[in-house]
Amino acid sequence: MSVKNNLDKLKNQIGIKRCIIVEGSINDIYENNNGYVSLKERIKTLLKEKGFHDIFTWDRIDGLTGGNVKSLTLVEDEKKDHSQEGEAYEFGKELINNQNEQTNHQTGHFTSLAEFFAIVRKNMLGNNPKKVAFIADSSDYLFSNEQSLSEDERVNLISLSKAFKDKKFEQSEIIDFDTSLIFITNSIGKLPTSFYLHNPDVSTITLTKPNREEREKFILTNKNFFKISEDLNQDILKLQDIYDTMEGWTLKEVYQLIKYSNNINERLPFEKLLNSYQYGDKVSPWEEMNYQKLATIEDELRKRVIGQEHAIEKVKKVVYKAFTGLSGVQYSSKRTKPKGTLFFVGPTGVGKTELAKALAKFLFGDEKNCIRFDMSEYNQEASDQKLIGAPPGYVGYEEGGQLTNAIKEKPFSVLLFDEIEKAHPRILDKFLQILEDGRLTDNKGQTVSFSDSFIIFTSNIGASEVDDYQPFDQIQKEFIQKVSDHFRTELKRPELLGRIGNNIVPFNFIKDTAFKAKLIAHKLKPIQLAVKEKYKVNLEFVELEKILTIIMNDADDKKGGRDLLNSIEKHIVDGLSEFIFTNQANFRVNQTIIAEPQGSVINYTIKN
């Protein structure tokens, strides 16, 4: 729904409903008589169009302003029996009499909520021939938590509710508009539910952010003020990119970016301008990427991941598409999607997580830019709140969401969603939005962008069913089929599978002896480096093949490379740490520790 539709609905209900609560995107600017104004000013225009004579705004700072307050507060119908109006009416009358001498149309008075409600009630129950409307701005701060309302707050609510209910029903007035009260609040949850719930006199209008058509109109109207290197009068494709990139933006946010472009020293391309505005002087790693660096991607990834050539090749192709700007263009012209999406599937311990970390290191210079989410921790229905944050009023609201916070802190990152099959199906809706739109809105209404991130899902789907002693081509086909069946049949979410496309990447089993030996040897090198760095001595493996065999024989093939690491810890790390603890006092710089197999045990000695 567009903002225009929201405001049309508001206009229709003005004068019909006694009270209208306007919530949602209330801090934007809104089209008004060929210009753009605040929501309060836009509502005033709507009220004037409905024929309201006196329009007053109120908040706790400026009180009642906007019209002839004196004429408003002196209105009384002598024929009306005010005895039924009780203390609230008398209270209002007393306030009015006390302040009439100093009231004029410029100065705000009646800053307390009790005073304001008394005046509203008096005018709703009175016989004022003029059409009067009240706009209560900044209504988020009128009441405390509903469970802890003070006695004064309860009295105020009763006073206002009675103003709605005590108004006599007159068929003769069916063509007339009622006095209207409009609350403006970020969230209806800021007002007590007992006030508006099941109350036919109260309606709620939720303002959305502008839709694409409304953003386009605003950008086109102001494109000549955009100080960028591209000529927006000639470059239609760039305009389309800007529309797409600003999906989810308010008009005020668009205006602020335009203003920023006018306050820097040079005209930048739009992408660089946006990056500078959002992240400061931080240079985008994607902008620093060059052909020479990309040419080394396979070699760099092979240093960390052994024996998964097909997976490395697939990662390379996806990164190439991101670099050339062709990622996903066959599906949409949007430039807001993540740079790349991959779905790693295979048995445990074969390098899926390691490849994600290696990619983060290659792209962003630090494997800490691989942000891992263990999806087994998101298996409850409300788990999506952990990603985007708890709703207002719930525990954890202030902390925000784990995913949205992470991407705000590190927009240039590899997001690793580990063992995705363990997540609750409701979580998949969030992933669908990320893959389709490249953005999420957190619990505080802030939109975060994933357009500079790389998304990787991992899964063990089918690992216990696929025969590991068949050709890898067949293993690939079976894993891809297992993943497809899982999304279509078990989850019944084929649309998510469609967003992943041909980026399902099967990993091979670790079963070849030579391959396992190579992997173990690769993992022994960090141990040697750690000993050298900390103790200034060398670590030498004598009869390496026998050592590798001891480690392999004690590892369970079904547990993949992870159990090889467990075996390394058992046969190498445990004994080595005990040897160092006992002998480190006798170490001399550049001495050598000898690791030598004896039967099924590895012993350590110092080489003199």
**Average pLDDT over all residues of the chain:** 85
Residues 6+ apart with CB under 8 A from 198: none
Determine the pLDDT at residue 129: 67
Quick: pLDDT tens for 212-243: 999 999 999 998 999 988 888 888 888 888 88
Domain-by-domain residue ranges, the chain?
A: 3-76+106-207, 212-279, 291-506, 513-607
Quick: pLDDT tens for 101-123: 444 444 457 888 998 998 888 88
**Higher model confidence: residue 171 or residue 427?**
427
Q: How confident is the model at residue 171 (pLDDT cuts 50, 70, 90)?
A: low
Label residues 55-74 b or e (16+ Cβ within 10 Å = b): bbbbbeeebbbbbebeebbe
Most confident of 268-272, 312-316, 581-585: 312-316
Q: Are 496 and 288 in contact (CB under 8 A)?
A: no
Quick: pLDDT tens for 37-85: 999 999 999 999 998 878 999 999 999 888 776 666 544 443 344 444 4
Give the strand pairing for 454-459 and 340-345. Answer: parallel
Question: What's the distance, CA 258 to chain centroid?
Answer: 24
Backbone angles phi, psi at 316, to 5 degrees: -55, -45
The amino acid present at 34, given as its one-letter code, is: N
Determine the pLDDT at residue 77: 40
Q: How confident is the model at residue 128 (pLDDT cuts 50, 70, 90)?
A: low
Assigned token pair, 382: 């409300």
High-pLDDT (> 90) share of the chain, %: 44
Determine the pLDDT at residue 168: 66
CA distance 143 to 188: 12
Question: Is the pLDDT assigned to residue 521 strictly greater than 50?
Answer: yes
Q: Is 454 left (phi over 0), alpha (psi -120 to 50) or beta?
A: beta
Q: How confident is the model at residue 185 (pLDDT cuts 50, 70, 90)?
A: very high
Alpha-carbon dihedral angle through residues 88, 89, 95, 96, given to the nearest 10 degrees: 160
Question: Is the pLDDT assigned to residue 565 strictly greater than 60?
Answer: yes
Helix (H) or strand (E) holding 439: strand 439-441
CA distance 53 to 48: 7
Q: Which of 107-121, 170-184, 362-376 has the lowest mean pLDDT?
A: 170-184
Question: What's the distance, CA 37 to chain centroid?
Answer: 28
The closest of 103, 95, 30, 94 to 65, measured between CA atoms, is 103
CA distance 444 to 187: 10
Question: Is the pLDDT assigned to residue 350 strictly greater than 50?
Answer: yes
Q: For the residues 94-106, what does the mean pLDDT come to?
A: 43
CA distance 98 to 110: 11
Question: Is the pLDDT assigned to residue 9 strictly greater than 50?
Answer: yes
Assigned token pair, 361: 């290191």
Four-way CATH pick for 513-607: 3.40.50.1000, 3.40.50.150, 1.10.8.60, 3.90.1150.10: 1.10.8.60
CA distance 336 to 249: 13
Q: How confident is the model at residue 100 (pLDDT cuts 50, 70, 90)?
A: very low
CA distance 495 to 498: 5
Q: Do domains 291-506 and 513-607 have the same CATH topology?
A: no
Q: For the residues 586-603, what does the mean pLDDT come to?
A: 92
For 305-373, give the DSSP string: --S-HHHHHHHHHHHHHHHHT-TTTTT-S-S-S-SEEEEEESSTTSSHHHHHHHHHHHHHS-GGGEEEE
Quick: pLDDT tens for 157-167: 898 888 888 66
**Higher model confidence: residue 79 or residue 188?**
188
Q: For the residues 332-336, what does the mean pLDDT come to?
A: 55
For 463-492, give the DSSP string: TTTS-TTS-HHHHHHHHHHHHHHIIIIIS-
Question: What's the distance, CA 146 to chain centroid?
Answer: 28
Quick: pLDDT tens for 276-302: 888 776 667 887 788 898 999 999 999
Give pTM, 2 decimals: 0.65
Helix (H, G, I), strand (E, B) or coil at 188: helix
Helix (H, G, I), strand (E, B) or coil at 189: helix
- CATH class of domain segment(s) 291-506: alpha beta
- CATH class of domain segment(s) 3-76+106-207: alpha beta
